[in-house]
Amino acid sequence: MDIARLRAETPGTANVVHLNNAGSALPPQPVLASVIRHLNREAEIGGYEAAAEAAEAQGHSYDAVAGLIGAAPDEIALIENATRAWDMAFYALSFRPGDRILTARAEYASNYIAFLQVAKRTGAVIDVVPCDNAGALDVAALERMVDERVKLIAITHIPTNGGLVNPAEAVGRIARAHRIPYLLDACQSVGQMPVDVEAIGCDMMSATGRKFLRGPRGTGFLYVRRSMLERLEPPMIDLHAATWSAPDQYTLRPDAKRFENWESFIAGRIGLGVACDYAMAIGLDAIRDRARGLAERLRAGLGAIEGARPQDLGAERSAIVTFTLEKAAPPAVKAALAAKGINVSVSGLTSTRLDMSARGLEQVVRASPHYYNTEAEIDRVLEAIAAL
């Protein structure tokens, strides 16, 4: 991996030490150029005309996303963000009183709020799978919890508030064995590590463009396994998702585009495809190893600073590093680092309430390096934290 070249292609590295890739990564120049080029074209000839002109580039984005995750292009829907992508899959499922939804303790707030709403509407029940000794979802406990009332297994691959990686493939084996629909939130894993939907065995998966994939904001995608498509009617449809086939009839599209709507951020869609190509050209294994190596350097350094406490769980850990300091609250740490040109974020109780409450945490500092960061930047961050 030619770090000097990758940094040269990432203009933002000249301005900041960006350790907020779990929030929104710095886009590389090819992604930036593709978005700006299309926006300029819209201004020059008109939005509809520019979209027609860019039909091939838009079509390529489906191929690029599919190639990134080991799917087929007709199993991909391009949607404005990961939350809406997840919602379109979840709310397409039907639940009745007593139906069970199994999830993990570190489930993301938006997902859990949707569980609560559907439980309130339908009488479905939410059951949280216990954690193993390392803090990840306990696969054996999940197996014991399965019965004929379980209608969905839905977990977050990598939580927003810590570095653990949940055992997505092991969950997939259980879901397949019992023929239970499996919805995976891969918002923090896509672009950070290899994510193969066939190996994982999920039926539906949502992800965003803006995080580790380094795509534009306002982009995301939904994967739906072809065998699941006919079982799912999207909660909202329009003339793109369906055809008004008779005065009193409509016909849904046969592919995953039934989860899309007609109006979209065309420039962003094109940029998303370019971001996928960029990641694939580097290599997802190399990206994972580089990002995790930098994260482990940061964790080791934090462990050597008096008063600093790393807060990451899991036997397998990602490039998200969370910590607290005895003498400074997380917002104050974020502000102090920002004053030194270092970007981190704060993850609070309401983002992952069950997990944070169980560990007695209100807030943590979240630092998320990516492959274009350097060892020198990690050391600079550690020096700044030690000074606090």
The strand pair at 125-129 and 242-246 is best described as: unpaired
Please name each of the domains of the chain with its CATH number: 17-25+283-387 (3.90.1150.10), 31-281 (3.40.640.10)
Spatial separation of the C-alpha atoms in residues 26 and 17, rounded to whole Å = 10
How far CA 329 is from CA of 89, 90, 336, 358, in Å, comes to: 38, 36, 11, 19
Kindly list the distances between the CA atom of residue 378 and the CA atoms of 139, 367, 371, in Å, as whole numbers in the listed order: 34, 10, 12
Q: What is the DSSP string of 132-155?
A: -TTSSB-HHHHHHH--TTEEEEEE
Looking at residue 141, its pLDDT comes to 98
Residues of the chain under the 50 pLDDT cut = none
- Please give the pLDDT value at position 287: 98
* Distant-in-sequence, close-in-space partners of 173: CB < 8 Å, separation ≥ 6: 201
Q: What six digits make up the tokens of 19?
A: 């350790």
- Distance between CA 317 and CA 336 in Å, rounded? 26
For the record, the structure tokens of 97 come out as 């009183």
Q: How many whole angstroms separate alpha carbon 177 and alpha carbon 373?
A: 41
What number of CA atoms fall less than 13 Å from residue 118's CA on the CB side? 24
Helix (H, G, I), strand (E, B), or coil: what is residue 73? Answer: helix
Q: Which amino acid is at 195?
A: V
Q: β-pairing, 150-156 with 17-18?
A: unpaired
pLDDT at 342: 98
Structure tokens at 154: 């839905």
Q: 150: closest CA among 113, 178, 171?
A: 178
**Under 8 Å between Cβ of 324 and 364:** yes
> For residue 319, what pLDDT is reported?
98
Amino acid at site 211: K
Predicted TM-score (pTM) of the model is 0.96
Pairing status of strand 342-343 against strand 17-18: parallel
Distances (CA, A) of 21 to 187, 200, 347: 12, 24, 13
C-alpha–C-alpha distance, residues 178 and 315, integer Å = 26
- Run of H or E residues at 184: strand 182-185
Dist. CA 162–CA 131, nearest whole Å:
14
Neighbours of 125 (CB within 10 A): 17
Residue 366 corresponds to which tokens in the numbers above?
Answer: 């979240």
Please, what is the Cα angle at 209 between 42 and 137, to 5 degrees?
165
Burial class (CB in 10 A: 0-12, 13-18, 19+), 73: middle
Polymer length in residues for the chain: 388
Give SS3 for 352.
coil
